[in-house]
Structure 1
Amino acid sequence: MSDVGPTAVLPRRPLTVGELLDAAVLLLRDQARVLLPLAVALALVEQAVLYPVRLLAGAHPPGWWPAGGESFGWYWLLLAAGAGTEAAIIALLGNPAARGGAAALLGHRRAPSELLHEARPGATLLAAGSVGLAVGLAGLAGPAWFVAYGLLGLVVPVLVLDGVPTHRAPGRAIRLAGRVGGRAAAVRLLGYLGWWLVRVGIGLGVPYGLGLLDLFDVSAWALPVAVVAQAAVNALAYPALACLDAVLHLETRMRTEGLDIRLSRAPAGVPEPVLLAVER
């Protein structure tokens, strides 16, 4: 199997940080027909789940800032709940993203239906729920969120691609993210920061921009406008971050486990799960 080249979604070699970010965008472009519809649905569900907590926190659109200091406890809970839901959604989208990334690494083209076929949905739901809960609880502790988010991003890619038992996936994911001085965890946090700036800019910019145009009474439509704007930008950010997790997982394995060398030496006709399995 020869290298699919520098213009591939995921070349078979260790990548720079810039190349990792580019590879994530290319993977999202290739798998948009699967990832974007799923992301839209999950982003809308997230908005519905968070709305009651926003009411308790006294947070109002478009900025969702609390009305007063007396509701700070509820607002802190809202931040933690939001951290947990977004981590769970990214993990869920990590299943098809990881399968798409593996296909790109092997030079295959996958139809959208193939990305969801035999995708271990039960194990993925359990893993995503566990990741979301862990990140949400870490969010309650403030700075601990950085550690939890950085280290737990590879759980679903490990579960889907590496062929390890479900109970071993979190431990292996943490070890992978912590290798080379925590490189994968740091790049994951960098990607999150970049998309967070985009999400804040669009989430606030759209309502305020419509208000400046004075086309209609934005104050009367503040809630639906803010919800739609946030759901729309999240529906792009979440699959992009899931694709970053997918390429980080595979690149870390190439960098630290010689996955690229194994693939180059594998005989023709070996099934994809066998090629990528950690234990054979």
Structure 2
Amino acid sequence: MRGEAAGSRRRTAILPLRATTAGESLDGAVALLRQRALPLLAVAAVLAAGEQVLVTRMRAAAPGLEPPFYLPDHFNFGVWWQILATGLAIEVGIITLLGAFTGAAAGPALLGRPASHGTVLRRTRVVWALLLALLLAAVAWPAAYFGLVGVVLLYALTGLVTPVLTLDRPGNPVVALGRSVRLSARGGLRVGRVRIVGYLTWLGIRGALGLGWIAVGDLLAYNFLGASWLDRAVPIAWGVANTVAYAALACLDAVLLVEARIRTEGLDIALNRSRARGEDESETLVAT
């Protein structure tokens, strides 16, 4: 039978088939990142570099924003806030786009089945994922600019949209968006709350990484290379830190989708039933 044939090729699953705590979800995201590090970090690096190019040009055009911290003064707070809103909107778009790949990777990781990076990539539904990423980034900019509450709520409710697109395989992206909101809102916004905790956790990590490299760059610039070198060191430092953070947060979204379906839809029961019957478990992952 198909299920038996698949079982003969099964490896140890890196995602547990049970409800998990917030800490276990973060650990699962790191495990998924390690399994798919090469394609995820490569794409995240390109996107993070593009973000730094845009933000750096905006900073250069704004008077008084000096590296390494680019803090505003009372003369240019409005410009600084625009740059902040732009950065947050780009982050939402990048994490959303990467979530299409991690959602496709979550199935094999949960079932313990081997799947090449190319196989996972072919399941990412790139066009729809890109459209969703652009849509959420466009909505995130005014939500951030006119008060951070809106972008926090948007981030909490829409994080599962591209993992839903590629793991649950709905018929169109509108269904994926609605399903993301429903799953994220269940259990007192549990998915949304864990997603925000994950974002804040990685914000601290990338802050330490970024500021650490900036401190080294500041020392080298002052002693050896001249102050202009710092202008290049700052975006590189933040680009490297953001590369890892964006990939990890996209992995967290995929893990949270699996966990939400186990917790609220009995995905673990359905998969165990499929295994007992010798059915193809991958078909059970498709939400009906």
Which TM-score applies when normalising by structure 1? 0.92
Q: Distance in 1 between matches of 2:150 and 2:132?
A: 20
Q: Which amino acid aligns with 1:37?
A: A
Q: Which amino acid aligns with 1:230?
A: W
Q: Distance in 2 between matches of 1:219 and 1:269?
A: 64
Deviates more, 1:53-62 or 1:239-248: 53-62
How many equivalent pairs are there?
Answer: 274
Q: Are residues 1:231 and 2:236 paired?
A: no
Deviation (angstroms), 1:215: 5.0
Q: Distance in 1 between matches of 2:116 and 2:212?
A: 36
- Gap runs ≥5 in structure 1: none
Aligned residue for 1:126, secondary structure, equals: helix
Q: Which residue of 2 aligns with 1:20?
A: 25
Q: Which amino acid aligns with 1:198?
A: I
Aligned residue for 1:70, secondary structure, equals: coil
Q: Are residues 1:268 and 2:278 paired?
A: yes
Which TM-score applies when normalising by structure 2? 0.89
Aligned residue for 1:65, secondary structure, equals: coil
Runs of 4 or more consecutive aligned structure 1 residues displaced over 6 Å after TM superposition: none
Q: Which amino acid aligns with 1:236?
A: V
Percent of pairs identical after alignment?
A: 39
Deviates more, 1:161-170 or 1:234-243: 161-170
Q: 2:225 aligns with which of 203, 217, 220?
A: 217
- Gap runs ≥5 in structure 2: none
Q: Distance in 1 between matches of 2:159 and 2:279?
A: 31
Q: Distance in 2 between matches of 1:181 and 1:48?
A: 39
Q: Give CA-to-partner distance per residue, 1:110-168, whole Å, 9 cap, x none.
A: 21111211421110000111121222221112222211111111110111121222211
Deviation (angstroms), 1:84: 0.6
Q: Does structure 1 retain, via aligned residues, the 8 Å contact 2:106–2:167?
A: no
Q: Which residue of 1 aligns with 2:286?
A: 277
Q: Distance in 2 between matches of 1:224 and 1:109?
A: 41
Q: Which residue of 1 aligns with 2:257?
A: 249
Q: Give CA-to-partner distance per residue, 1:25-51, whole Å, 9 cap, x none.
A: 000001101101111111101111222
Q: Distance in 1 between matches of 2:159 and 2:82?
A: 22
Deviation (angstroms), 1:198: 1.7
Deviates more, 1:101-110 or 1:216-225: 216-225
Q: 2:163 aligns with which of 157, 161, 165?
A: 157
Q: Are residues 1:186 and 2:196 paired?
A: no
Q: Which residue of 2 aligns with 1:134?
A: 139
Q: Which residue of 1 aligns with 2:71?
A: 65
**Against the structure 1 CA distance between its residues 205 and 218, is the aligned structure 2 distance closer, same or farther, given a 3 Å change threshold?**
farther
Q: 2:202 aligns with which of 195, 200, 206?
A: 195
1:49-88 equivalent positions in 2, closer than 5 A: 49-58=54-63, 59-66=65-72, 68-88=73-93
Q: Which residue of 1 aligns with 2:15?
A: 10
Q: Which amino acid aligns with 1:90?
A: I
Q: Distance in 1 between matches of 2:184 and 2:61?
A: 36
